[in-house]
Structure 1
Amino acid sequence: MTNPSRRNAFKTLLAGAGAASLPILPAQAAASGTAACAPAFPGWGRGIEGQRKADRGDGTYVNPIIAGDHPDPTILKDGKDYYMTFSSFFSYPGIVIWHSTDLVNWAPVGPALKKPLGTIWALDLCKHDGRYFIYIPAAPDGNAWSIYAIWADRIEGPWSDPVDLKISGCIDPGHVVGEDGKRYLFVNGIRRIRLTDDGLATDGTVEPAYQPWRYPEDWVTENFAPEGPKLLRHGDYFYLITAVGGTAGPVTGHMVIAARSKSIDGPWEHCPHNPLVRTTGTNEPWWSRGHASLVEGPGGDWWMIYHGYENGYRTLGRQTLLEPMEWTADGWFRAQGGDLSKPIRKPRGGKAGPNGFALSDDFSKDRFGVQWSFHDPAPDEMTRVRFANGGLEIRGKGSMPVDSTPLTCGVGDRSYEAEITLDLAGPAEGGLLLYYNPKAFVGVGFTPDTVKTYQYAEEQPWARRPQAISSVRVRLTNDANVVTFRYSFDGGKTWILHGTRMEVSGIHHNVFGGFLSLKVGVYAAGKGTVRLRDFRYHALPSG
């Protein structure tokens, strides 16, 4: 499938909304560089397998609340429960829903979307008249963007098949019910369209809704790009929270702004505190912060949830951050988080629930969607897999990682180790990767007679090593973006150090596009079968 460029898509999608790009300034070069060193953190809590977690166990937390690639968060408060999901892009099964009772500790419920729709961008999760809805911008097979809807009577599912609302050329839906009782979707631009009462069809056309607040022209941003509208009715007003400045590019670009109106029809008043959230320099712990939603905490205090890149670790993708906010006497609000590298008092009144999940897997049960997902799969991709003979068997596809549709596992730690046993059957090739997309990955591969090296998304023929192989255990160590591979042919009793170490800090969106993250990947190529056994993961102390 074609991977649509968000930057190019915005040129097309926003043209109809009259959104002009700001001039590119020479100072952008400095602001978009990598900081000389990432700031020190005071220490996260440690969870399953030593994975970092936000809750420090002393009544405070340190961001991120969900580590790793969880961008464009959309959150739903449902009684005492909170549910959240994220852009899932080319990962399928996708749209994993997470649950919390305190806004800090989160655990997955499961995937809501199993039918591939191409790349999935910023969603909206909402509940209306007792039914759950997710509005999904997607570009099936690389074709034109449209917005789809799925629904369920229980958050756990089953979820319906996607319904195409035929809202073409739009992304980033935000659902709201107006004072007229009608349902609307706001989209990038910032525009809106009315929905039918069941929320599964349109009742009108896309129309302009709001001309967003503009920042000074000398600010270093990627482009204006108003996106991610999220709406909230609070007191006498509708509040419209929007992202501008571009989702990536210079670290100072992405930001959160707000407006309010007493009617869904406007007029909208700019917030006098804009921008409410913005990274102002490369020394800050979190870069490109934006795409926010507001949510009331368990004890009645209020919070912002948004995403950001971790300083020095763009490879982990955009991670989910939680910042306190306060309502002001004039009916506006301000962010109150301050230095996000420091511990913050947890929301009042919540009860901590489960946090995260183990990534180690003996393949005794199906963990697709929550942990494992194919990158950009074909509709029949799952016919390649079966759980048998003490592992997960994957039928080979293509001839190398780039055309094999790798199986991937997202991670949230800065340093970690992962290892797995691969059993080769027939003329198969299998291997362990750090995988971003077909243009960007590193790894080692094994055929029945050869050890291979993959670097710069290509095999390095000079590094081939002859070796008779039927089964191999492979270990990947990622220590602050320096990657080392080892492998063993005797079940892990003795290990061979792979001859090439790789530095991967440059494998991220600003270089390769796609808004993805660097994931642990396993591939099966050729005409044989690769059986996966005993995958193990643990964070390193520096992670």
Structure 2
Amino acid sequence: MTTRRDLFKAMAAGAVALPLPAFATGATPPSAPPARVPGVEGQRKADLGDGTYLNPIVAGDHPDPTILKDGDDYYMTFSSFLAYPGLVVWHSKDLVNWTPVGPALQQNLGDIWAVDLCKHEGRYFIYIPANPTGQGWSIYAIWADDIRGPWSAPVDLGISGCIDPGHVVGEDGRRYLFVNGIRKIRLADDGLATAGELEDSYRPWRYPDHWITENFAPEGPKLLWRDGWLYLVTAVGGTAGPATGHMVIAARSRSVHGPWEHCPRNPLVRTLSAHEPWWSRGHATLVEGPAGDWWMVYHGYENGFRTLGRQTLLEPVEWTGDGWFRALGGDLSRPLPKPRGATPGPNGHALSGPLSRERFGVQWSFHQPRPEEMQRVRWEGDTLVLAPAGRSPADSAPLACIVGDRAYQAEVTIELEPGAEGGLLLYYNPKAFVGLGFTADTVKTFQYAEELAWARQPRATRQVRVRMTNDANVVTWEYSHDGGRSWTLHGTRMEVSGMHHNVFGGFLSLRVALYGTGGGAVRLRDFAYRAIAETAGA
């Protein structure tokens, strides 16, 4: 009698053939969103080319967006958590088409949450909540005279136990940071030290107790002066948990010191049902468009794809006669008219190509490196040489790449120096990853953060090309020892839809990752990426 365990062993050894996904069929799942204009490598692109756009404007794990209008330019950055180099700054001319500029943070500050990007008297600042020791949060600042850098080393402002800063200049001409709570503290004129004590500022509007949310969690304060009013936009309801939790509320005052009045339309944005395409919508910033229209930028989880992390969304805003505003986009399931008055610029960036120095920090970043591990890479032409770390993928601080497509293929060539182990992963954190690993004589299988020791396959390997296909959270693996002329289908497919924050915490996403461990370096080259049509479940 053939047992389930025997079947798994046969699959791992390649004795049981499984059909590959029919990528070219073009089958559309019943809940598919409207048709898109594909971007570079087929990646998701918000601009539909007909005067409309379809969210997200920045796909993949780009949460807690902080946006700066700087003349005719817009700049945006996001929480980078445990990725180093971190805090990639993005640029746009029209709020819809975005391209990366480069990472602003090189030094390892540990976990980094929602930051604030601002400009004051010609100088750019990023205020950074960070937890460098794992023992508590503080807010740091970095600055630059050019948005493209170089950026300064971090300065600890000594604002302990706080996250989610929002910078504003009060009617008194002084600088302030608002933080979670909602509290505020005055800054020195140069913005690089405090000049007062942390104090309560605003008691947020409270939703009815019977609403289904994660927790109250007032956070993400973003502030804007308009027509003599200071508007305070805040997130409440929790940033994950139930789909209907996170929301956007607003208040206003004539003074940075209050008193504040609640917006009568609160909440301005909220997911009302788990049937909507975007869940947990919140953490918003108001921004003026190129032609004077107004918009709200915030994040949300995509229905069924929490694995992609919180993605960046754009919603039109209308100012009303009573001096308040309201959101006009609804549940964001359909295309919306683009902001007026700007010529579209480039969108996205190619992920395929050499793992060059220029891609380090923009595309590829270490996950949770120890300080010394920032020096683990060197380049030999178009080859990235990764020094080993740790004993397994779990503690190897892999190089990870954010992806934003619901279905895609990724492949890379791996060359092992003597004693090395290397491989290709889908990586959330040390407790949640899947992938294939290779040593000089063995193919290893990692499923849900564990190596399946019974699935080890003997195979002499010095160089191998590995391909991963993620088709709507169903992952297929292949590898080739002859440069891609012939491929071996790995016998185990992996379903990864549960590998997200609501299971494993951390507010992260499932990323393509490369690891190296053991006693020798791993040489990596010719990474290739392309979006594909979804077929899983079709």
What are structure 2's unaligned runs of at least 5 residues?
A: 1-28
Match of 2:202 in 1: 210
Match of 1:267 in 2: 259
What are structure 1's unaligned runs of at least 5 residues?
A: 1-36
1:183 to 175, 180, 189: 175
Match of 1:353 in 2: 345
Work out whether 1:387 is the aligned partner of 2:379: yes
| Correspondence 1:340-379 to 2 at 5 A | 340-379=332-371
Work out whether 1:250 is the aligned partner of 2:242: yes
2:303 to 301, 311, 314: 311
Question: Could you state the TM-score of these two structures normalised by the residue count of structure 1?
Answer: 0.92
Name the SS for the 1:142 alignment partner: coil
Code of the residue aligned with 2:155 in structure 1: it is: V
Measured after TM superposition, the shift of residue 301 of structure 1 is 0.3
Measured after TM superposition, the shift of residue 364 of structure 1 is 4.2
| Correspondence 1:227-306 to 2 at 5 A | 227-306=219-298
Deviations 1:443-470 (A, max 9, x none): 0000000000001101000100001110
CA distance, structure 2, for counterparts of residue 339 and residue 390 of structure 1? 44
Distance 1:230 1:531, change over 3 A: same
Distance 1:349 1:476, change over 3 A: same
Match of 2:215 in 1: 223
Match of 1:34 in 2: none
Measured after TM superposition, the shift of residue 390 of structure 1 is 4.2
Match of 1:108 in 2: 100
Q: Answer whether contact 1:38 1:283 (CA < 8 A) is retained.
A: no
Moved more, 364-373 or 440-449: 364-373
Measured after TM superposition, the shift of residue 236 of structure 1 is 1.6
1:521 to 504, 513, 530: 513
CA distance, structure 2, for counterparts of residue 384 and residue 229 of structure 1? 37
Distance 1:38 1:518, change over 3 A: farther
2:123 to 110, 117, 131: 131
Work out whether 1:481 is the aligned partner of 2:477: no
Name the SS for the 2:272 alignment partner: coil
CA RMSD of superposed structures (Å): 1.0
CA distance, structure 2, for counterparts of residue 440 and residue 461 of structure 1? 17
CA distance, structure 2, for counterparts of residue 39 and residue 126 of structure 1? 39
2:390 to 391, 395, 398: 398
Measured after TM superposition, the shift of residue 278 of structure 1 is 0.2
Q: Post-superposition, which runs of at least 4 consecutive aligned residues in structure 1 deviate over 6 A?
A: none
CA distance, structure 2, for counterparts of residue 390 and residue 51 of structure 1? 24
Code of the residue aligned with 1:410 in structure 2: it is: I
Q: Answer whether contact 2:271 2:331 (CA < 8 A) is retained.
A: no
Q: Answer whether contact 1:39 1:311 (CA < 8 A) is retained.
A: no
Work out whether 1:434 is the aligned partner of 2:426: yes
Deviations 1:113-149 (A, max 9, x none): 0000001000000000000000000000212100000
Match of 2:10 in 1: none
Measured after TM superposition, the shift of residue 308 of structure 1 is 0.1
Q: Answer whether contact 1:253 1:279 (CA < 8 A) is retained.
A: yes
Equivalenced residue count is: 507
Q: Answer whether contact 1:444 1:453 (CA < 8 A) is retained.
A: yes
Match of 1:120 in 2: 112
Code of the residue aligned with 1:157 in structure 2: it is: G
Q: What percentage of aligned pairs have identical amino acids? A: 73
Q: Answer whether contact 1:46 1:53 (CA < 8 A) is retained.
A: yes
Q: Answer whether contact 2:278 2:331 (CA < 8 A) is retained.
A: no
Work out whether 1:445 is the aligned partner of 2:437: yes
Q: Answer whether contact 1:122 1:136 (CA < 8 A) is retained.
A: yes
Measured after TM superposition, the shift of residue 395 of structure 1 is 1.2
Deviations 1:475-526 (A, max 9, x none): 0000000000000011111100001000000000000000000000000000
Measured after TM superposition, the shift of residue 389 of structure 1 is 5.8
Measured after TM superposition, the shift of residue 43 of structure 1 is 1.7
Distance 1:180 1:529, change over 3 A: same
Measured after TM superposition, the shift of residue 363 of structure 1 is 2.8
Work out whether 1:197 is the aligned partner of 2:192: no
Measured after TM superposition, the shift of residue 44 of structure 1 is 2.1
CA distance, structure 2, for counterparts of residue 129 and residue 436 of structure 1? 40
